[in-house]
Every structure is written in structure tokens, then in C-alpha cells.
């Protein structure tokens, strides 16, 4: 890069040197790292890659050069950390581009059975039954139950492209806080609430300003394990968040196939049909557990405006 002008650096040279550096690193350290190909948007800024992995190609210009590319890169992980997906798994043809990106870019929060943070791992690894069984991977999650002013519960049907439990009906929104500062905040469960805001916008198009974090009421936590098919499954410590608010919906078809509000009687009928196998209706296992154990008695508190009285965040219910 010594030939770079004092005003700028060649973007093509930066990209070439970056690729060369990553390739050399892969060859030099195969004995102690495993490599995973994934698709990501990478931003080059002068001397480094976004995410903290610095590359040794200094720019002679004081001007910070940056650009973004959507391309496959190699991410390396130390063999001392939890193992990662193989090349074959990384290129899993069963996933569409959106789900593949989420599987490899999202880092879930690993916890023990007392909900203490013990690390992080990719969403991909956290949902492989092989990893769940062999390494007992347990990650933090949340399930949102959003009621309108008529005290009807908003349900969603998961899209057909979801990796786990596609096309099943479930509560309003179910996802994971990620391993990032804003979603690791323990005080007042703010990290989980921030994640809930993020995913309600991602999945249902509800802007954060319509969902103040102090409106989310955590009522409890459950710990459960559920296989989805032979390959995928869930092992989650799940925060149950309730909120009463009227919202406008703009569902994301990559995440959501359908939505509907139900009252108590309509939900009971849905549960009956799912149990009987009628109309092809299936429910997510976590929603079924909450419905069978907690939901209807908590619904009383929704209507009476006494949700805080029902909250028990000290107990982790193993179901």
C-alpha cells in the first residue's frame, strides 16, 4: 500500500490484501482453528475489518477509507471455544438467504440453568440438536404476549422458511436477545426488553416508539427442550413478556406467514384443534407449554390491570 496517494487508498488493493491476509491466516493456523464460511456485510476501514479483526495493510493516507461488500468470508474460531459448523453445514441448502444470514451472524447468549451468562455461540450451533445434546447448549430467549385494548392476544404463524418449527402458530413474537451490550443488561430485564423491541419491529413492523420498554412486564421464566425435526430444535431459558398496547402491524413475510387476534374462547378452540390434529393446525412447543401452565390465569390479570401482581421472576420453571 506504499504507493497510495496521501489523499486516498485503492479500494481494490485493500480488498485484495484483505482476501490474501484471510487466506494466509487460514493456511497458517489450520492446526488450531476451524474455519466457517458465511455470508456477511463486511466494512473495511483503513486498517481493519468491522468486528475487531485487524488486518495488516496500513493505509498511508490519514483519510479513513471504508466500503462495504456483501460476500462470503472465512470466520475463524479458536478450537478452545465451542465448535462451529462444518463447511457442509454452513452451506445448508435447506435455508433461504435470510435465515442463513441470521443463523450465522446472530450470536445467542449461552446461560446455565440458573440463567447466569457463560458465553455465546452462533444461532446455528444453538439450534442443532447434536450440539444441544452433546454440549448441553442452553441459550436465553424471550416470548412476547401482546394484547390489544380489547384484551385479545395477537398470534402469529411462523413463515415456511423458518429453520425451526416452520408454519406453526405461536404467541406474538419469539426470539433471542443477542450477545451485545444493549441486550445483556440485567437491570430491570432491560436487555431482554431491548431485544423484544428489536424483534417486534423486524417481524411485525411495530416501531420501537410504540413499544416503550417500561410497558413490557416480565411475568416468569421457563426452561424447556424441544426437537423440531431430526436436525434442529430448541433448548431455551425463555423470558415471558406481556404487554397491553394497540399497534399497527406490517408483518415481514420472511418471518411471519399470518397473524390474528384471539379471545380466550378462540384460543381454547385453537388448542383443541391442535391437540386433535384438525385442520393441520400445529402450535410451537413453548407456546403450548405456556398456554397449558400459565396463560389463562395470567389473562385474568391482563383484564384486571394487575399483571405486576402475577410476576414471579425468581423462579425458573423447568417444563
Q: Is 179 a catalytic residue?
A: no
Please state the three-class secondary structure of the chain as a single string: CCCCCCCCCCHHHHHHHHHHHHHHHHHHCCCCEEEEEEEEEEEEECCEECCCCECCCCCCCCCCCEEEEEEEEEEEEECCCCCCCCHHHHCCCCCCHHHHHHHHHCEEEEECCCCCEEEEEEHHHHCEHHHHHHHCCCEEEEEEEEECCCCCEEEEEECCCCCCCCCCEECCEEECCECCHHHCCCHHHHHHHHHHHHHHHHHHCCCHHHCCHHHCEEEEEEEEEEECCCCEEEEEEEEEEEEECCCCCCCCCCCEEEEEEECHHHHHHHHHHHHHCHHHCCECHHHHHHHHHHHHHHHHHHHHCCHHHHCCCCCEEEC
Q: Catalytic one among 108, 126, 173, 174?
A: 174
Read off the C-alpha cell for 190: 432491560
Q: Say how far apart CA 164 and CA 129 lie, in whole Å.
A: 11
Q: Catalytic one among 108, 124, 179, 239?
A: 239
Q: Is 239 a catalytic residue?
A: yes
Provide the annotated active-site residues. 174, 239
Amino acid at each position: 500500500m506504499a504507493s497510495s496517494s496521501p489523499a486516498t487508498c485503492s479500494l481494490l488493493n485493500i480488498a485484495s490484501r484483505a482476501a490474501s491476509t484471510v487466506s494466509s491466516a487460514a493456511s497458517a493456523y489450520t492446526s488450531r482453528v476451524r474455519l466457517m464460511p458465511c455470508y456477511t456485510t463486511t466494512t473495511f476501514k483503513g486498517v481493519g475489518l468491522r468486528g475487531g479483526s485487524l488486518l495488516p495493510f496500513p493505509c498511508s493516507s490519514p483519510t479513513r477509507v471504508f466500503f462495504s461488500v456483501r460476500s462470503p468470508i472465512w470466520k475463524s474460531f479458536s478450537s478452545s471455544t465451542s465448535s462451529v459448523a462444518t463447511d457442509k453445514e454452513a452451506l445448508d441448502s435447506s435455508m433461504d438467504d435470510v435465515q442463513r444470514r441470521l443463523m450465522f451472524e446472530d450470536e445467542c447468549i449461552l446461560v446455565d440453568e440458573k440463567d447466569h451468562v457463560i458465553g455465546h455461540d452462533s444461532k446455528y450451533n444453538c439450534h442443532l440438536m447434536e450440539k444441544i445434546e452433546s454440549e448441553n447448549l442452553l441459550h436465553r430467549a424471550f416470548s412476547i404476549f401482546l394484547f390489544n385494548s380489547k384484551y385479545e392476544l395477537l398470534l402469529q404463524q411462523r413463515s415456511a422458511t423458518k429453520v425451526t418449527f416452520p408454519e406453526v402458530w405461536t404467541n406474538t413474537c419469539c426470539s433471542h436477545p443477542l450477545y451485545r451490550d444493549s441486550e445483556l443488561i440485567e437491570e430491570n430485564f432491560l436487555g431482554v426488553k431491548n431485544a423484544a423491541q428489536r424483534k417486534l419491529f423486524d417481524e411485525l413492523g411495530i416501531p420501537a416508539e410504540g413499544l416503550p420498554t417500561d410497558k413490557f412486564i416480565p411475568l416468569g421464566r421457563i426452561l424447556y427442550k424441544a426437537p423440531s425435526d431430526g436436525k434442529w430444535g430448541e433448548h431455551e431459558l425463555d423470558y415471558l413478556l406481556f404487554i397491553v398496547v394497540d399497534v399497527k402491524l406490517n408483518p415481514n413475510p420472511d418471518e411471519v406467514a399470518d397473524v390474528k387476534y384471539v379471545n380466550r374462547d378462540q384460543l381454547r378452540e385453537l388448542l383443541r384443534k391442535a391437540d386433535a390434529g384438525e385442520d393441520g393446525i400445529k402450535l410451537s412447543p413453548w407456546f403450548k407449554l405456556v398456554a397449558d401452565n400459565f396463560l389463562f390465569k395470567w389473562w385474568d390479570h391482563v383484564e384486571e390491570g394487575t399483571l405486576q401482581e402475577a410476576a414471579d421472576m425468581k423462579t425458573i420453571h423447568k417444563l
